[in-house]
Amino acid sequence: MTAFELPDDAFAVVGTDTGVGKTVVTAGLVGALREAGHDACAIKPAQTGYPPDDDAAFVADICGTEAAATCLRRLEPALAPEVAADVAGVELEYESIREETAEHLAAHEIGVLEGIGGLRVPLADGREVIDLVSDLGIPAVVVARSGLGTLNHTALSVSALRNRGIDVPAVVLNEYEGESLAARTNPDVLAEMTDCPVVTLPPLSVEDGSSVVDGVRAHVLAGDID
């Protein structure tokens, strides 16, 4: 089984799109790190679609403590942050987002930045999620769908990150069941296309925090972490 080593400092969890499972992977990684004795915390720079969407609250619930996650801004419209702020008449400044995110990442032994949607989702002032990851100078784990169509989206996302000098420790194919020929062949094809470790994560019960943490530890990290 392919696995990868977690960065020993801050890193990001980004996605090829919205709804691909960034929050589940983030929760599992933070939970596994905390159970191993690390001061790990997920930082969500902006949450849109709130309520009901609240990724930081989900991570905290999975990890069993509010110390496991924080959200810097919440916006009601379920849109990209820059668009949501414009619709809601709320001021949103990129430099404030960058500075506050950097402060929160540095405040913990291991800070985990959770992205918003895909890499080119507008944040504020014409800057995007990929700009934030690049400006923070942290590596990025890419979460993607496991079935048909993921090759293009995932390879382009990895290329975009590397073109900005961002290291990609791994790609996580989420909700992997291997039922289709595309799903079964995608991990090896993507590994060849991206020259990057590709791990598969089966569907996990999000109603059970231990299921998420144990599942990510077993399938993504392939065992205990130091």
Which residues sit in the known binding site for ATP?
19-24, 55, 114-117, 174-175, 202-204
**CB-based contact 45:101 (threshold 8 Å):** yes
Distance CA 183, CA 146 (A): 6
Q: Do 199 and 219 contact (CB within 8 A), yes or no? A: yes
- Residues annotated as catalytic (active site), given as ranges: 44
For residues 117 and 18, is the Cβ–Cβ distance under 8 A?
yes
Residues making up the binding site: 19-24, 48, 55, 114-117, 174-175, 202-204
Bind-site residues for Mg(2+): 23, 55, 114
Q: What is residue 9's DSSP assignment? A: S
The whole-angstrom separation of Cα 8 and Cα 5 is: 9
Calculate the CA 62 to chain-centre distance. Answer: 15
Rounded to the nearest 10 degrees, the angle between the axes of helix 55-63 and helix 209-219 is 90
